[in-house]
Chain A
Amino acid sequence: MVEIKNLNKWFGKNHILKNINLDVNKGEVVVMLGPSGSGKSTLLRCINRLEPVNSGEIRVGDDLITDPKINIFEARKKIGVVFQHFNLFPHLSVLKNVTIGCTEVLKMSTEKADKIAKQLLERVGIGEKISSYPSEISGGQKQRVAIARALAMQPEVMMFDEPTSALDPEMIEEVLNVIKDLAKEDRTMILVTHEIGFAREAADRTIFIDSGEIIEQASPKEFFSNPKTARAQAFLNKVL
């Protein structure tokens, strides 16, 4: 579903992503772990071209994202993103936050968009808040709205950039449960997270990234019990 070949990215003189090669299969749930500043979030943002790349190829489904001639706006519709800081639209109600992508980008009718939005908001557990505004709901609720907003576009791939890192501890579980639910559904998902428990339970594959390179890839079971590289071991010692 997602193919990344020989990806390199520099920011000024810093070589942030070094020759990344990664394939994510359809329906696979992939979790990227690693120390802060290792480039995991940057990699995610390259996939829907929020950040440009210096060399290499990224393919999502049938779209060659790195091709400058491609209609990137069309391509982005197929990739859903959930951000660390939610990035909800503060001047729109919860319902409108979810429907605006459908009405403005997918050109759906308002009735159809509302129906889809209400279903999704029920599903993530905030059906009763559809008329509220982002400033009136908690962090955990905001993130669940953000997930509904991304899902409303019916994307082929869902990406999560540290979805629980900005949440108070008591709200992390409600968001993780929603994500775990999605993971069971045969969706292609790429997550960057520090939640080791989640990785163990829900991921099909864990990828360890450090200093812009993929150091190790394995199933969660293998990776956590038997890390093969020294850097992965050092990281796990600090974190577990």
Chain B
Amino acid sequence: MIVKQYLPVFRQAFFNTLGVSAVSLIFAFIVGLIGGLCKISKNKIIHSIVSIYVNAIRSTPLLAQLYLVFFGFPYLGIKFSPFVTGVIALTLNSGAYITEIVRSGIEAVPKGQTEASLSLGMNYFTMMRRIILPQAFVIIIPPLVGQSVVLIKDTCLLSIIAYTELTRAAEIVVANSFAPTEGYITSALLYLTLCFVLMQFSRYLEKRQKKA
């Protein structure tokens, strides 16, 4: 079967997909954490800047953001590898959604927790670190896993900028062997496996949360 012949390509692409997803997720989480904390800030300037960022990302397609980064940077004289370009675009994109997830998580912690902490004399930093954020973290894990699934699927657009992830692997196979069925279906199945595992994990987490 043709697939066996191209197995190494798919395997490399699978790990590339995982790699760019993992790196982007880590950076996106950092961006989202900072963004979420900024969004609950009472400082109007910080709040506005983050709001503009989030609204801009959420109102435009990832493909457009990717084009902006991929074609924009060389025009300004900066050249990045496809991997780095992909990470930048995916980080900025998912970072906005994670900002909202973090913000909702913090706001979901009951107000009584804030009052009890303040009444004990805690300052803002201690209260956040020891009482609010630990509770918020538990709340945000399921939507965070959901966003990870979205990000893994978003990596398919990196095929456009010549990064050899799962979609591009399929394109290579198809171009060389003229067997679109094998190529694209294999990719689809690999994505499905990745996402399915994550989705089941998310469901398991949600059930555990409901018990607590």
Contacts and interface: CB of A to CB of B under 8 A. Distances in A.
Interface stretch (B22-30, B48-56, B122-130, B166-174): B122-130
Contacts of B138: 91
Interface string B125-153: 01000110011001000000000000000
A153 B120 contact: yes
8 tightest Cβ-Cβ pairs between the two chains A and B: A77-B121, A87-B116, A87-B112, A101-B120, A81-B119, A76-B121, A105-B121, A73-B123
B113 interface: yes
Contact of A83 (B116, B123, B134): B116
A229 B211 CA distance: 52
Interface in B157-212: 212
Contact of B212 (A79, A135, A146): A135
A90 interface: yes
Contact of B130 (A79, A100, A106): A100
Given A100-B130, A104-B126, A104-B130, A89 B121 contact: no
Interface string A83-118: 101111111000000001100111000000000000
B118 interface: yes
Nearest to B126: A104
B112 A105 contact: no
Given A90-B135, A91-B135, A48 B119 contact: yes
Best-buried of B123, B126, B212 by chain A (most CB within 10 Å): B123
Nearest to A48: B119
15 contacts: A48-B118, A50-B118, A76-B119, A77-B121, A83-B112, A86-B112, A90-B135, A100-B120, A101-B122, A104-B122, A104-B130, A105-B120, A150-B119, A150-B120, A153-B121
A91 B126 contact: no
B107 interface: no
Nearest to B134: A91
A74 interface: yes
A144 interface: no
Interface residues of B, number: 18
A149 B134 contact: no
Contact of B115 (A50, A135, A153): A50
Best-buried of B113, B120, B126 by chain A (most CB within 10 Å): B120
Interface of A: 45, 48, 50, 73-74, 76-77, 79-81, 83, 85-91, 100-101, 104-106, 135, 146, 149-150, 153
Given A81-B116, A104-B126, 15 more contacts: A48-B118, A48-B119, A80-B119, A81-B115, A83-B116, A86-B112, A87-B115, A87-B116, A90-B135, A91-B138, A100-B131, A135-B212, A149-B120, A153-B120, A153-B121
Contact of A89 (B116, B119, B123): B116
A101 B116 CA distance: 10
A105 B126 contact: yes
Contacts of B119: 48, 50, 76, 79-81, 150
A8 to B, nearest CB: 22
A83 B138 CA distance: 24
Contacts of B121: 73-74, 76-77, 101, 105-106, 153
B170 to A, nearest CB: 45
A146 B112 CA distance: 12
Contacts of A76: 118-121
Nearest to A49: B118
A208 to B, nearest CB: 26
A153 to B, nearest CB: 6
Contacts of A100: 120, 130-131
Interface string B99-112: 00000000000101
